Amino acid sequence: MATIGMPLAADFEDSEFVVPRERLAAAGHTVVVLGVNAGEKVTGKRGKETARIDKAINDAEPDDYDALVIPGGYSPDHLRTNSAMVSFVRRFGESGRLIAAVCHGPQLLIEADLVKGRRMTSWPSVRKDLENAGAEWVDAEVCVDDNFITSRKPDDLEAFSKAIVGKLAEMEAA
C-alpha cells in the first residue's frame, strides 16, 4: 500500500482534509500529515476539524512518499510562503509520482513551478493564477492529467477521492 503525504497548515478546508484522508485510509494507505512543526495542532477554517502534524517538512524526504494530496482552504496559501515546503513539493513533483490537489491546493503547485503545460481545475478564484502560470484550466469535477489529479470544491470530494484511490491501485498493479 502507498504512503501519502498531505501538506497542511492552519485554516485548511475541513472536509477537503478529512474526506480524502478517510477514503485513503479505508483503502489501506498510510497518510502522513506534513507541516511546518511536528506535533503542532492545526485547525480547519470552519473550526470543525483539527489535525496534528505528523512530520515537519524539514525532516521529510520526497522519496518517502508515493503521492501527495493537497487540501484547499487557506492552508496552501500559508504553505506557499514556506521555502522548505515549496522545495519539497517541487522535488516531489519532479519525481513524476502522483500529486492531487483540490480547491485552492493548486496554489502550492503554482509556487513550486509544477503547473506549466498541465490541464487542471480548481476553485474558480485560482483559475487566473493557474492560467498565468501556464496551465490550461477546465471547469470539471475532477481533472486527471497524467500523474496530476485536481478538483474544484468540497462537493467534488467523493469523485476526487475515488480518482486518487483508483490511480494508486493502477500504480500498484503496474
CATH of the domain at 94: 3.40.50.880
**Residue 172 corresponds to which amino acid?**
E
pTM: 0.97
Q: Where are the alpha helices (DSSP H) in 1-82?
A: 14-26, 75-79
- Which positions are catalytic? 103
Quick: pLDDT tens for 40-80: 999 999 999 999 999 999 999 999 999 999 999 999 999 99
**pLDDT average per 10 residues of sequence, the chain (174 residues):** 97 98 98 98 96 98 98 97 98 97 98 98 98 98 97 98 97 87
User: What φ, ψ does residue 113 adopt, rounded to 5°?
Assistant: 60, 45
- Total domain count, the chain: 1
Query: Residue 51's domain spans which residues?
Result: 3-173
